[in-house]
Amino acid sequence: MAAGLGGYPGGMSADDKAANKVDELAGKAKEGLGRATDNRDLEAEGKAEQTKSNLKQAGEKVKDAFR
């Protein structure tokens, strides 16, 4: 059996996807809190976290396509 990412068979893609989703939801919460409190820095930080998470999720999809 071939070892995937991180030395685990098949990689840890499901764990990575779950972590990315959690990061995305945390970013949405931060953005909403920033908007509610008129804190533009917090709102921007939340948007940035969502973007980062979305890019990671896209990377996971690319990896899945090559498996």
Measured CA to CA, the distance from residue 9 to residue 17 in angstroms comes to 16
CB-CB contact of 16 with 60 (8 Å): yes
- Over residues 21-33, the pLDDT tens digits come to 999 999 999 999 9
Domains of the chain, by residue range, sit at 15-65
Model confidence at 12, pLDDT cuts 50, 70, 90, reads low
Token couple for 46: 């939340």
- Over residues 41-53, the pLDDT tens digits come to 999 999 999 999 9
Average pLDDT over residues 35-43: 98
